[in-house]
Amino acid sequence: MKRALLTRFAHGVLLAACALTLAACGREESSTSGAAFTPTPEQVARGRYLTRAADCAACHTAKDGAPFAGGAPLASPYGTFYGSNITPDKDHGIGNWSADDFYAALHDGNARGKRLYPSMPYTSYRQLSRADTDAIYAYLMTVKPVAVANQANDLKFPYSLRFGMALWDMVFLKDALPDASAGQSADWQRGRYLANALGHCAECHTPRNVFGQLVDAKPLSGAALGRVVATDITPAGLAGRGWTAADLQTFFSVGIAPQGSAFGEMYPVVHLSTQYLNKDDVRALSVYLLGDTPPAPQPVKAVDADAAQLAAGRSVYLAVCAGCHGLAGEGKPHVAVPMNGNSTVRQADPHNLLVAMLDGIDTQKFAGLEDMQAMPAFASTLSDDELSQLANYLRATWGGQSANVVAADVKALR
């Protein structure tokens, strides 16, 4: 039923959009201004900082690829998008773009006459100031041009018909995003800009409706776009898993906090972006997420669970986990994070915990001397029953969550 509804809507979008876009077919928009763009060294340096804050490399640099040459895949329910080449190469990149062209792409989703998909988060970047987009453009014009052709998106029908985006933008593109926290301080205002505009946190952490638009009523409340679910980072969601402003600052600066380390899609966010933010911006980002009056972090609550069930899970834990994570779940520095109070263990939804156990986690290199050894995948060595028992032991013992994971939950994620 849901698929049929989505298909009917998409067809309607395409028909309506035709009337709006046929006149523009075959025509490429040019710059709105022919004025020469001469950046200053200070503007280029600021643009480098902002490019990191905006996490451009995560989508525009493929694994083992040249910086900003595109090709990084972004899986979604609609198909796979690929980051484009944003080096100053004149054939495949943005070497022929003006600063006005660049601003139009980030502000309006209009890449010189071609409508962008919101996989390029112009829905968030729309809030960027013109001075900041000019600075980012100035920096990108200084990186090495790379003659790498852009990889075509691999999208399901009818999402592959790009001109439907004209109507989508008319209906869903907004000038600002709703806030999940409350505040008025200078730090909160700066953090709002960092989170909602530059960091585009909502693009992953806010759920989407059937038509792919962000659900305004649930900002930053968590969303399932990829293999690892983007968690609830509202003030209540963070406090419920024990986060404080100080812990968030450590996490964004280093990648590791008492609640665990960045993994999944958050690892490149820290590795490529937030570790480079200055102390003031890290503080501001943390203030915005929790609000000017942050809720108190919640302790792990006691949980009643079946003793026999927990005993089975503890046996698995002692056999394959305790060597790294410790007998009492205390973890080992530079080896493995604690399980006691771990943010993933404390999530009500066991999805990310099960994915981590099934898939493992690659070696993580963090800021300075911090790192975490690779965690092995247990998909081929532990059964569905064993993994469900292990998950229940972790959740009930150190996460304050019900021991309600069953073997079918594990099987569904294999």
Q: What is the pLDDT of residues 232-266, one digit of tens each?
A: 999 999 999 999 999 999 999 999 999 999 999 99
Residue from 45, 47, 88 nearest 66 by CA: 88
**Residue 56 annotated as part of some ligand binding site:** yes
Q: Is 203 exposed, middle or buried (0-12, 13-18, 19+ CB in 10 A)?
A: buried
CA–centroid distance for 215 within its chain: 16
For the segment 36-44, the average pLDDT, to the nearest whole number, is 91
Reading the block at residue 287, the tokens are 């203030």
3-state secondary structure 75-102: EECCEEEECCCCCCCCCCCCCCCCHHHH
CA–centroid distance for 70 within its chain: 18
Which of the residue ranges 170-179, 196-205, 208-217, 253-262 would you say has the lowest mean pLDDT? 208-217
Amino acid, res. 219: P
Spatial distance between the Cα atoms of 75 and 64, rounded to a whole number of angstroms: 19
**Residue 25 annotated as part of some ligand binding site:** no
| Residue 8, pLDDT above cutoff 50 | no
Reading the block at residue 67, the tokens are 């910086």
Confidence of residue 369 (pLDDT cuts 50, 70, 90): confident
pLDDT at 215: 96
Name the most confidently modeled range: 212-216, 308-312, 405-409: 405-409
| Residue 209, pLDDT above cutoff 60 | yes
This prediction's pTM: 0.89
pLDDT at 35: 54
pLDDT at 82: 97
pLDDT at 4: 38
Spatial distance between the Cα atoms of 352 and 394, rounded to a whole number of angstroms: 13
Contact 195, 288 (CB under 8 A): yes
pLDDT at 62: 96
**Residue 59 annotated as part of some ligand binding site:** yes
Domains recognised in the chain with CATH numbers: 27-172 (no CATH), 186-290 (1.10.760), 307-412 (1.10.760.10)
| Residue 15, pLDDT above cutoff 60 | no
Antiparallel, parallel or unpaired: β 79-82 and 73-76: antiparallel
Amino acid, res. 279: K
Which of the residue ranges 86-95, 290-299, 302-311, 344-353 would you say has the lowest mean pLDDT? 302-311
3-state secondary structure the chain: CHHHHHHHHHHHHHHHHHHHHHHHCCCCCCCCCCCCCCCCHHHHHHHHHHHHHCCHHHHHECCCCCCCCECCEEEECCEEEECCCCCCCCCCCCCCCCHHHHHHHHHHCEECCEECCCCCCHHHHCCCCHHHHHHHHHHHCCCCCCCCCCCCCEECCCCCCHHHHHHHHHHHCCCCCCCCCCCCCHHHHHHHHHHHHHCCCHHHHCCECCCCCECCCCCCCCECCCCCCECCCCHHHHHHCCCCHHHHHHHHHHCEECCEECCCCHHHHHHHCHHHCCHHHHHHHHHHHHCCCCCCCCCCCCCCCCHHHHHHHHHHHHHHCHHHHCCCCCCECCCECCCCCCCCCCCCCCHHHHHHHHHCECCEECCCCCEECCECCCCCCCCHHHHHHHHHHHHHHHHCCCCCCCHHHHHHCC
pLDDT at 77: 82
Q: What is the pLDDT of residues 65-100, one digit of tens each?
A: 999 999 999 988 889 999 999 999 999 999 999 999
pLDDT at 124: 98
**Residue 201 annotated as part of some ligand binding site:** yes
Spatial distance between the Cα atoms of 105 and 125, rounded to a whole number of angstroms: 9
| Residue 134, pLDDT above cutoff 60 | yes
**Residue 205 annotated as part of some ligand binding site:** yes
| Residue 18, pLDDT above cutoff 80 | no
Task: Please give the residue that has the higher pLDDT: either 15 or 172.
Answer: 172
pLDDT at 36: 74
Amino acid, res. 305: A
Task: Please give the residue that has the higher pLDDT: either 298 or 30.
Answer: 298
Residue from 125, 101, 122 nearest 50 by CA: 125
For the segment 169-180, the average pLDDT, to the nearest whole number, is 96
Contact 186, 128 (CB under 8 A): no
In whole numbers, what is the pLDDT of the chain averaged over residues? 91
Residue from 20, 7, 15 nearest 169 by CA: 20
For the segment 203-207, the average pLDDT, to the nearest whole number, is 96
For the segment 377-403, the average pLDDT, to the nearest whole number, is 98
pLDDT at 225: 80
Contact 353, 347 (CB under 8 A): yes
Task: Please give the residue that has the higher pLDDT: either 76 or 299.
Answer: 299
pLDDT at 12: 41
Share of the chain above pLDDT 90, in %: 84
pLDDT at 285: 98
Spatial distance between the Cα atoms of 333 and 328, rounded to a whole number of angstroms: 14
Q: Is the dihedral of CA 208, 209, 214, 216 positive or negative?
A: negative
**Residue 325 annotated as part of some ligand binding site:** yes
Spatial distance between the Cα atoms of 130 and 104, rounded to a whole number of angstroms: 10
**Residue 204 annotated as part of some ligand binding site:** yes
| Residue 407, pLDDT above cutoff 80 | yes
